[in-house]
Amino acid sequence: MNKRIERCTMAAAMALGSMAIAGLLNTAQAALPPVQHQGSVQYVSGGIGLDESEALKAAAKDYPLALTFAAQVGGKADYVADVAVVIHDGQGKPVLRATSEGPYMLVRLPAGDYKVSATYKGQTQERQVAVKGAGAARAVFEWK
In a domain, 5, yes or no: no
Domain harbouring 120, CATH code = 2.60.40.10
Q: For residues 36 and 45, give the distance between their C-alpha atoms in angstroms, rounded to a whole number.
A: 9
Q: Look at residue 5 in the predicted model and tell me its pLDDT.
A: 56
Share of the chain above pLDDT 70, in %: 79
> Above 90 in pLDDT, residue 135?
no
Give 72-81 contacts, CB < 8 A, sequence gap 24+.
72/142, 72/143, 72/144, 77/142, 79/47, 79/103, 80/120, 80/143, 81/48
Q: Look at residue 133 in the predicted model and tell me its pLDDT.
A: 75
Kindly report the pTM of this predicted structure: 0.78
Lowest mean pLDDT, pick from 31-35, 126-130, 134-138: 134-138
Tally the domains of the chain. Answer: 1
Q: Which among 94, 144, 140, 91 is positioned nearest to 118, based on CA atoms? A: 140
Domain span at residue 91 reads 32-143
